[in-house]
Amino acid sequence: MFSVVLMTEIRPFRIDIPQADLDDLRDRLDRTRWAAPLPGGGWSRGVPVDYLRELADHWRTGFDWRAQEARLNAFPQFTTSIDGLEVHFLHVRSANPDALPLLLVHGWPNSFVEFAAAIGHLRAFHLVIPSIPGFGFSQAPGEGFDVTAAGRVFAALMERLGYDRYGVQGGDLGAYIAPEVAVAAPDNVVGVYVNGGLGFPDDDDDDLTEEEAGFFARMAEWSRGAVDHHSLLRAAPQTFAHGWNDWPVGLLAWLTQKLQEFTPTAEVPERAIDLDLILTNVTLYWLTGTSGSSSWFMYGTDRFRWPRGQRAVPTGLYSGPPGFRRLAERHNDIVHWPEARPGGHFVAMEVPGVFAADLSVFFAKVGR
């Protein structure tokens, strides 16, 4: 008798990394060929050698992947096939059967691990936390995949789970995808909550106020000191993926560089984000070999663009600045715009309780 697997089937999933893969990781860390320090103090030339040595040593001897694997497996996980892609997701139901379903969309260079610390603060929602295609345990997309396609995939996922009314959250890459879910399913999405990213000028804007123009000029000056990952991964993602996929310290250095830039509130990333959470994310990238496939958002575009949002449903932001509300309202129906909240770029990892509380305030406005 032949067994037919339906394309709409939802299958239980459990993380179970072979011990041989963990042994290989430790062996590669043991045999790292360290670069000599370059002139310049602190982070002026990139991740300092001494700092990275300490971080790698902790990854090798102090970090317990099996403990983190068990932590993640405590959340119900599943896979399903949508538009020819195998999609991995967490589905954590609230004790309240009438709770509002909430789709949480992670950023780059992150994964579903971004929300591990926030889940306990969001028990008032039925949570659906997918791995974006190309990230973690979700299948890598093919040529032409974009944020619009990702939005359609996630709208289809919510429909498959039986949710006909739900909220969506997104930050970083998620700030591009979350609005597209609303565009794909405007009759189902009650609101979109974004971790910043809205309210930035387009290239052809010529009506900026003096305050806006001055602010964005200062922001541009600051960004010149950061690694332009959009340009780098747009130009030669395959080239860099060779190194990141072959040697763990190279991957660790790259992800640490970006986290350092994304956590301006702290001297080093682990003072803003729990170190085990950082290393869980790095280890997931290593074990799944997704340093290249997770870059589709960059290599699939011709230039960098800020997210514009959408007008199909109401929008709320975790924190208004560094964008300007006047500019954000050109493309969004803004109903929640607090002027200041703690944390940096990945607030669900840095201040999960504050993030969850503010998100709850927004969906209390629009969710019924």
Q: What is the mean pLDDT of the chain?
A: 93
- The answer to whether residue 275 scores a pLDDT higher than 90 is yes
Query: What confidence score (pLDDT) does residue 222 get?
Result: 65
pLDDT per position as a tens digit, 124-157: 999 999 999 999 999 999 999 999 999 999 999 9
Question: CA-CA distance, 355 to 346, in Å (whole number)?
Answer: 10
CATH number attached to the domain at 73-207+305-366 = 3.40.50.1820
Question: CA-CA distance, 188 to 31, in Å (whole number)?
Answer: 52
pTM of the model: 0.95
Q: For residue 292, what pLDDT band results from cuts at 50, 70 and 90?
A: very high
Question: CA-CA distance, 313 to 173, in Å (whole number)?
Answer: 19
A 10 A CB-CB count for 136 gives 22
- The answer to whether residue 1 scores a pLDDT higher than 70 is no
Query: What confidence score (pLDDT) does residue 2 get?
Result: 37
Query: Among 23-37, 170-184, 321-335, whose mean pLDDT is lowest?
Result: 321-335
Name which residue leads in pLDDT, 217 or 361: 361
A 10 A CB-CB count for 159 gives 15
Query: Among 223-237, 279-293, 294-308, 352-366, whose mean pLDDT is lowest?
Result: 223-237
Of 259, 284, 280, 298, the C-alpha closest to 138 is 284
Query: What confidence score (pLDDT) does residue 6 get?
Result: 53
**Radius of gyration, CA atoms only, the chain:** 20
Query: Among 44-53, 181-190, 326-335, 338-347, whose mean pLDDT is lowest?
Result: 338-347
Average pLDDT over residues 157-178: 97
- Scored b (16 or more CB within 10 A) or e, 200-239 reads bbeeeeeebeeebeebbeeeeeeeeeeeebbebbbeebee
Question: CA-CA distance, 249 to 53, in Å (whole number)?
Answer: 9
Query: What confidence score (pLDDT) does residue 226 get?
Result: 82
pLDDT per position as a tens digit, 49-74: 999 999 999 999 999 999 999 999 99
Residue limits of CATH 3.40.50.1820 in the chain: 73-207+305-366
Q: For residue 319, what pLDDT band results from cuts at 50, 70 and 90?
A: confident
Of 360, 359, 367, 364, the C-alpha closest to 170 is 359
Cis check for the bond before 322: say yes or no (omega within 30 of 0): yes
Q: For residue 368, what pLDDT band results from cuts at 50, 70 and 90?
A: low
Query: What confidence score (pLDDT) does residue 116 get?
Result: 97
Nearest 5°: phi and psi at 85?
-115, 135
Query: What confidence score (pLDDT) does residue 161 get?
Result: 98
- The answer to whether residue 316 scores a pLDDT higher than 50 is yes
Calculate what percentage of the chain has a pLDDT beyond 70: 96
pLDDT per position as a tens digit, 2-52: 344 456 799 999 999 999 999 999 999 999 999 999 999 899 999 999 999
Query: What confidence score (pLDDT) does residue 232 get?
Result: 92
Query: What confidence score (pLDDT) does residue 171 get?
Result: 95
Query: What confidence score (pLDDT) does residue 7 get?
Result: 61
